[in-house]
Structure 1
């Protein structure tokens, strides 16, 4: 018993020591976190698929150590940010191989292994990583598609998914009409596409992308998913398109930090792209101040980020455990693109980083991170999401004006190919709305096929 007690104390003695005024301390801390995060990655092992985390082919975020395809895409972006912040190239080869392997045959992040279960939001997180690569001049692979072309291919693919058959516009959550969730128009799909378009406008200067981003923003802002009360903008999670997005029963009143992060980042890119249009500044300010009130609660000091819907109760699933990474990342980007926000953003990133480091006391290394940054006591629950959030918020404390996202005008070298994925094959989906008859027909067809297979097996056995 005494020996077990001493063993239990070892991780506490090995906790990450973070000194925010020392760049070398931050780099050392993020190196440990990034290395531990990569211990979850199996795609570089014999017989495994490059780019994927465990469970990606049949994800269930409620299961331990089971990660969806989109979260793997987000992880590679976090390592691009890590490389940009620190200069450490340790993981660059895995990042490059993974993004290229999962790009899909039409260079639009719609690979065959995932196309049948694809969500619009799933795709955008891979596109975010490609755009991170563009904006940091992350090294490309000779003979492979450019990072910028992959994001443009995704944009071209998703343009066809804009749906005016219900709710006057907007993206449905799912790409394939028969998939569960196709009836929902959710914030992360629409906000994700908005940010992709905003960043393409910022990088290329092409007003077509800017006009599209504005259109998506206007639809979101006019939908019930935007609601203001007591000086706070509530960005709700989704709407039911089967109800034409109307009425209280159509709205799901959940709010998540990543929706605020994605919209904040997109608005910051649009502010910069439009040379400081005051409308976009107002949008940046409203989202930022609302995020401050919601995700930095006064009960924990007002400067430590909390995913309050699930984190205080310890019930976040694998997806939700990563959400703070994206708010952290795009708060840092906003501080660079909209300098007037810098002095308000950095104290929150600093205090959250200190809290995150306090939670990095677990696992065999003694550096694995837990999620409850307001506490000195680790939860003992670790994973890719916990590592990614700690990596993002601690690494963000290395930002400086030289890390402002690059555009083609300011030195981005990735080649633009705006027609990527256009006219390279048949439209992968039908945009006809799914009816009850369609669902019934699909069920009958499935029953007939099953009966045929069972009958054939019986005949073979009888014979």
Structure 2
């Protein structure tokens, strides 16, 4: 494994904050101050710590609120990184409570109340946040509660089960888990990317080759069905009834990001092997070329016409965070990635001049002005972009042999529900979701958006 840490100082790259912006990122102290305020504003969207509300989730799912279950899990990952990078422990307790509340009866992030829209990607995002907690030595839960590493292993083990990897399309994970859910007949990049990402990280953390074998197998499957093409473009997915040959070529930044970070972990786990060096290098270049025009994060599938779903409005922050971590565990990428993240973060904070508080952050960063689009995803994006500028102050994510304290369970998830007989009654939200899916498929027929992994 590789443990060297890049010391490319972000401050040396700073060219100054944007004019009229509410925030500055001109020094590490400024970055921490800005991140603290952005984090506080993000947490105002969270109601789970209020009386009568459900811990762990953002308001939703539709029609009860804008957000699906998975985005809560993603947000706690952002808050764990915020704690790790800034040292601010203000949100440790609420983050811990949130991550534990949603584990479900089998401690595998499959709570029964979200079954009607439960995807492998949804479960995967909660699992990746638990994995991040283990890697960052986030304070461990009480001994009588599920532990971070064991939760990540439970998610991985349920997704590695034979019933999740059938022979259609010669392998790969389906998008949805219960067979009655809309999207069960779709195999997509984000579901397989989360699984690949977890496998690579568990391999490095535990030094267990079986996790790495699954990661290799998943990467090879993505390439074989051309969801990842020869130029490292990553496309959304394909349907099993077409043997995944009807590829929807919509591209979303979080697909690239989740595979990029996983590839970095495989590079580290294999002690800098040539094959993972080349794969990672190619994926870094493709990601920057596609999603960072003029070095500013841009969601190419929807940003031009502002047709992004609530889910898509949160992707930029994950990519910033994952690319920043990549520079620590694969240091050769730092000179390529860090200047891009700096420029993008400068554009991001320049948008934070909106609404009555004159510091609400927007979604589209390329114009460097507030665009009127605000929400948890938009705040999370800027938090990820800003806090990641402190990556040069951190050490590599820990492992079992380098100071990791989280307790694992190699058999976690073995008692999980496989939903063989699950048939949920349609709720108003499910009916609305089905209508949206129908629209998306019809749009594909006329060459508009195509099928997208929207979390519904």
Question: What is the TM-score normalised by the length of structure 1?
Answer: 0.84
CA distance in 2, matches of 1:426, 1:258: 28
Aligned to 1:366: 358
Change (3 A) 1:164 1:383: same
After TM superposition, give the deviation of residue 15 of structure 1 in Å. 4.1
How far apart are the structure 1 equivalents of 2:312 and 2:256? 14
1:179-328 equivalence runs, <5 A = 179-228=181-230, 232-246=231-245, 250-297=246-293, 302-328=294-320
Q: Secondary structure at the match of 2:107?
A: coil
Superposition pairs of residues 9-88 of structure 1, within 5 angstroms: 15-20=21-26, 22-56=27-61, 58=62, 66-88=66-88
Paired residue secondary structure (1:265): helix
User: What is the match of residue 123 of structure 1?
Assistant: 123
The secondary structure found in structure 2 opposite 1:167 is helix
1:331 aligns with 2:332: no
Structure with more contact order per residue of length (Cα contacts < 8 Å, sep ≥ 6): 2
**Alignment check: 8 A CA contact 2:173 2:188 kept:** yes
Contact 1:261 1:326 in 2 (8 A): yes
Report SS of the residue matched to 2:232: strand
Distance in structure 2 (CA, Å) of the matches to 1:59 and 1:412? 41
Contact 1:151 1:196 in 2 (8 A): yes
Tell me: CA distance 1:18–1:149, structure 2 relative to 1, closer, same or farther (3 Å): same
- Residue 292 of structure 1, CA deviation: 1.2
CA–CA distance in structure 2, aligned partners of residues 268 and 116 of structure 1: 34
Counterparts of 2:140 and 2:290, CA distance in 1: 39
Residue 372 of structure 1 aligns to a residue whose secondary structure is coil
Aligned to 1:163: 165
Q: Which residue is equivalent to 2:447?
A: none
Supply the distance in 2 between the matched residues of 1:401 and 1:381 (Cα, whole angstroms): 32
How far off its partner does 1:93 sit? Answer: 1.1
Large movers: runs of 4+ above 6 Å: none
d(CA) in 1 for partners of 2:368, 2:191: 35
Cα separation, partners in 2 of 1:19 and 1:164, compared to 1, 3 Å:
closer
CA contact (8 A) 2:23 2:352 kept: no
- 1:381 shift after superposition: 1.2
* More divergent stretch after superposition (161-170 vs 32-41): 161-170
Equivalent pairs counted in the alignment come to 403
For the residue of structure 1 that corresponds to 2:44, the secondary structure is helix
CA change 1:357–1:235 in 2 (3 A) is same
Report if aligned partners of 1:371, 1:379 keep a CA contact under 8 Å in 2. Answer: yes
CA 1:218–1:263: 2 relative to 1, 3 Å: same
**Residue matched to 1:403:** 395
Distance 2:356 2:147 in 1: 38
Rounded Cα–Cα distance in structure 1 between residues aligned with 2:324 and 2:19: 31
Between the aligned partners of 1:393 and 1:241, the Cα distance in structure 2 is 36
Structure 2 unaligned regions, length at least 5: 1-17, 423-456
**Is the Cα–Cα contact under 8 Å of residues 347 and 366 in structure 2 kept in the other structure?**
yes
> Which of 380, 386, 390 is the equivalent residue of 2:382?
390
Establish whether residue 175 from structure 1 lines up as the match of residue 158 from structure 2: no
Q: Give, in angstroms, the shift of residue 19 of structure 1.
A: 2.9
Change (3 A) 1:13 1:245: closer
Structure 2 vs 1, CA of residues 304 and 427 (structure 1 numbering), >3 Å: closer, same or farther? Answer: closer
**Distance in 1 separating the partners of 2:420 and 2:73:** 23
Once the 2 structures are TM-superposed, how far is the Cα of residue 371 of structure 1 from its aligned partner?
1.4
Match of 2:404 among 409, 412, 423: 412
- Deviation track 1:114-139 (CA, whole Å, cap 9, x = no partner) reads 12321000001101110110111101
Deviation of 1:234 after TM superposition, in Å, equals 1.5
Per-residue Cα deviation, 1:140-187 (whole angstroms, up to 9, x for no partner): 221211100000111111112433331110001000111111110000
Could you say which residue in structure 2 is the equivalent of 1:8? none
Match of 1:357 in 2: 349
Contact 2:348 2:368 in 1 (8 A): no
Is the Cα–Cα contact under 8 Å of residues 20 and 350 in structure 2 kept in the other structure?
no
Are 1:347 and 2:343 matched, yes or no? no
User: Residues 172-222 of structure 1, C-alpha deviation per residue, up to 9 Å, x if partnerless?
Assistant: 100011111111000000111010111110111011111111111111111
Checking the alignment, whether the CA contact within 8 Å between 2:178 and 2:184 is kept in structure 1 is yes
Judged with a 3 Å threshold, the aligned counterparts in structure 2 of structure 1 residues 394 and 287 are, in CA distance, closer, same or farther, namely same
Q: 1:52 to 1:257 in 2, by over 3 A?
A: same
In 2: Cα distance, 1:213 partner to 1:430 partner = 29
